[in-house]
Amino acid sequence: MTDADVLAVRPLSVVPEGDEFVVGDPESGVFVVLPAVGVEVLELLRAGRTVGEAAAEVEGVDVADFAESLVELGFATVGEPAAEAAAARTASPWLRAAFSVPAWAAYSACALGVVVLFALRPALLPRSSDIFFLDTPVRSLAALTAIMYVLAAAHELAHWLAARAVGVGSRITVSRRLYFVVLEIDLTGLWSLPRRRRYGALCAGMAFDAIVLFPLLLARYGDAAGWWSLGPHAARAVAALAFVEFAAIVSQFWVFARTDCYALLTTATGCVNLFRVNQLMVRRALRAITPEQRSELAEAHGRDLAVARWFRWIYVAGLVGATWFFVMYFLPATWRLGAWIVGSVADSGPASEHFWEALVFGVLVFSPRLLVLGVAARDAYRWRARRAATA
């Protein structure tokens, strides 16, 4: 980078965040935190000043090094015309209406209604027996697994629609949280918005869960109060669906697993990369931190360091609980299910209904476990590729 170079800076968002600024490219999803002087230099380069001219106007900043960092991040190119700004995403009227203030009032009313119904009739709280709503446990678990896939996809779709309503693009991918497979939406583009405008897209998934759970509980409440009769089959199906949605909402409060509530926490506290800083602090406490990681921790953002001081205890407690659940329940249940499926398939031929029931059940129930292994292998491959690229 020479003093005569001119940068073509991409259309970047610059959002105040306390005394600093979140700067990034909503299209690529890359964001960084800059001090006020960094934004000043950025604006000079964006205005067409050469690297040397910008350095002459701002003292105490290595503008050449700063310009090289912009190029490495993909925020700018050297000596080329600036890329045309991406066409602004204009949400349709119905989409804006779906996430308007009156709509959020309705979603909040559903969430409040769930709490009120549980308070009025504690017997509505889901029980483990509610999941067995069909004539056999096998069919019940297979059906619920398929239903969980559909509801999880709808939960992420709500996030996606809410992001589109504020003009932010996103994509849904398959990921994992510990040993559970999850659908995950990339909402990095929300960093291009002021903090107050990010909350809607972050809460949209739980809002969807609330508007599904409330009518299910209301139906059960009315049935118990004698307002109407659901019938035995419908009552069992409604109870099973309520169990799934209740579990989906509760699981979002497992902040140690980077759930929706974790995203809300980091947004509200102004964190930049809490999870990474938290991991480094835990490594330091266990004396398992490398010199490079110690240096990375020393340069971490102040808000991340402050929040990680108490968040790490939640993180460690969550890992201990998740490990206990894995050893005591998840692993034994997986082993027993696998043994039953293998035995059922081996003891009956393809002409038997029991054979196909066990086979379909096995595919559905074990698909999340197989997906976890596949995602873990994919992540390990990408990690090795990054290590090799930086070696």
- Mean pLDDT (whole number) for 74-80: 77
pLDDT bracket for residue 263 (50, 70, 90): very high
At residue 30's C-alpha, the angle toward residues 24 and 33, to 5°, is: 55
Predicted local confidence at residue 90, as pLDDT: 57
Predicted local confidence at residue 91, as pLDDT: 67
Shortest CA distance to 209 belongs to which of 143, 164, 259? 259
Predicted local confidence at residue 26, as pLDDT: 74
Domain-wise residue ranges, the chain: 7-78, 93-269, 334-381
Write out pLDDT tens, residues 269-294. 988 889 999 999 999 998 888 998 99
Convert 81-113 into a string of H (helix), E (strand) and C (coil). CCCCCCCCCCCCHHHHHHCCHHHHHHHHHHHHH
User: Does position 83 have pLDDT exceeding 70, yes or no?
Assistant: no
Structure tokens at 222: 């009315």
Most confident of 74-78, 185-189, 340-344, 380-384: 74-78
The CA distances from residue 23 to 43, 114, 191, 263, 266, in Å, are: 11, 39, 8, 19, 17
Most confident of 39-53, 90-104, 180-194: 90-104
Mean pLDDT lowest for which of 86-90, 173-177, 283-287, 342-346?
86-90
Contact 182, 193 (CB under 8 A): no
Contacts of 334 (CB under 8 A, 6+ apart): 369
Predicted local confidence at residue 362, as pLDDT: 80
Task: Find the helix packing angle between 274-285 and 291-298, rounded to 10°.
Answer: 130
Structure tokens at 121: 């009739």
User: Does position 390 have pLDDT exceeding 70, yes or no?
Assistant: no
Q: Is 17 helix (H, G, I), strand (E, B) or coil?
A: strand
Percent of the chain with pLDDT over 70: 95
Mean pLDDT lowest for which of 84-93, 109-118, 205-214?
84-93
pLDDT bracket for residue 81 (50, 70, 90): very low
pTM above 0.75, yes or no: yes
User: Does position 364 have pLDDT exceeding 50, yes or no?
Assistant: yes
User: Does position 369 have pLDDT exceeding 60, yes or no?
Assistant: yes
Predicted local confidence at residue 139, as pLDDT: 81
Shortest CA distance to 276 belongs to which of 264, 268, 289, 287? 289
Most confident of 171-185, 208-222, 320-334: 208-222
Contacts of 221 (CB under 8 A, 6+ apart): 117, 120, 121, 124
pLDDT bracket for residue 241 (50, 70, 90): very high
At 76, phi and psi to the nearest 5? -155, 165
Distance CA 269, CA 203 (A): 16
Positive or negative torsion for Cα 272, 276, 279, 283 = negative
Predicted local confidence at residue 220, as pLDDT: 96
Contact 73, 64 (CB under 8 A): no
Distance CA 336, CA 322 (A): 20
